[in-house]
Amino acid sequence: MKQLINFFTLLFLLNLLACKKDNELKSDIKDPSINTPTSNAKYGSVTINFNNKAGSESLQLNIGNYLNANGDSFNVSKFKYYISNIVLKNADGTTFVEPECYHLIDNRKGNKYSLILDSVPVGTYNGISFILGVDSTRNTSGAQIGALDPINGMFWTWNQGYIFLMLEGNSPNSVGFNNAIVFHLGGFTPPYNCIRKVEPTFGTRDLILSENKVSKMEIKTDILEMFESPSLIKFAQTSESMGGPISVTIANNCLNMFSITSIEN
């Protein structure tokens, strides 16, 4: 009997050993470390809402009918874009840079997208900038997760890299197949680099961040601007782009696409 006990004890110990690696792996998982401010500095936060519009109307996929500056009517079935590298400019000359973060704004999920910047030092801010698209580093850093997961359909598989902005729909003026309009902006190497740093102006308003308070900024993203200035796009001539020169032309128009409509302190 004793031998039997010894045998099973041995078996038990052996099994423990065999599984040790598994357990070790589990205990290896670390909580993401959170940077807690150590000094006496005070922090506030701001909610930034991106509101997708066509002129003054809220963008409605499939239902809405819109007119571009050339007078071509069109509708939109897909509208998605990346916002990244958000920077707030303090009146004292310093800047707050959002810790590395990529926002995929997909109108299918609603025409308002909210993001919150917190742990921003309190103070008066008079400028903002962000990238429409994904910086070249993340375009060439291998397999990504989250908003940059290629599963989100914003990744070119043949000329690999992210699609920064995607607008698809129909226009009776379009010369494309089935009157489609298909604009995919992407590409991060010269001369067809479509990454654009956007700096909508604050005007006379300032963003004032205070402790224990959430300020709010509303940004309008106007799809009509994509086709207006400085290059007027006529769907009878230009109904699609997949990177290259046309995408660059539209990316330049996109510099006018974002405007700040209100700031609540």
Residue 155 contacts residue 147 (beta carbons within 8 Å): no
Q: Cα 111 from chain centroid?
A: 14
Query: Between residue 9 and residue 38, which ones bind other proteins under the rule CB under 8 A?
Result: 9, 11-12, 15-16, 18-19, 21-22, 25-26, 28-29
Amino acid in position 58? S
Query: Which of 97-105, 107-115, 137-145, 220-228 is the region at the interface with other proteins (rule: CB under 8 A)?
Result: 137-145
Partners of 214 in the β-ladder: 45
- Minimum CB separation of residue 2 from other proteins in Å reads 9
| Residue 149 DSSP SS3 | coil
245 touches other proteins (CB under 8 A): yes
Nearer of residues 20 and 112 to other proteins, judged by Cβ: 20
8 touches other proteins (CB under 8 A): yes
Residue 138 contacts residue 102 (beta carbons within 8 Å): yes
Residue 66 contacts residue 79 (beta carbons within 8 Å): no
Distance separating alpha carbons of residues 14 and 3, to the nearest angstrom: 16
- Minimum CB separation of residue 155 from other proteins in Å reads 7
Query: Between residue 69 and residue 108, which ones bind other proteins under the rule CB under 8 A?
Result: none
Tokens 């309009």, residue?
A: 181
Using the rule CB under 8 A, which residue among 71, 99, 142, 230 binds other proteins? 142
β 258-264/57-58 pair status: unpaired
Residue 119 contacts residue 211 (beta carbons within 8 Å): no
4 touches other proteins (CB under 8 A): yes
Nearer of residues 11 and 232 to other proteins, judged by Cβ: 11
Q: Who contacts 202 (Cβ-Cβ below 8 Å, separation ≥6)?
A: 126, 127, 128, 260, 263
139 touches other proteins (CB under 8 A): yes
Distance separating alpha carbons of residues 107 and 78, to the nearest angstrom: 7
Query: Which of 122-130, 159-167, 177-185, 232-240 is the region at the interface with other proteins (rule: CB under 8 A)?
Result: 159-167
Query: Between residue 182 and residue 201, which ones bind other proteins under the rule CB under 8 A?
Result: 189, 191-192
Q: Helices (DSSP H) in the chain: which residue ranges?
A: 2-27, 136-139, 244-253
Using the rule CB under 8 A, which residue among 45, 244, 260, 265 binds other proteins? 244
Using the rule CB under 8 A, which residue among 35, 40, 151, 178 binds other proteins? 151
- Minimum CB separation of residue 258 from other proteins in Å reads 27
- Binding region for other proteins (CB under 8 A): 1, 4-5, 8-9, 11-12, 15-16, 18-19, 21-22, 25-26, 28-29, 139-145, 149-151, 155, 157-161, 189, 191-192, 243-245
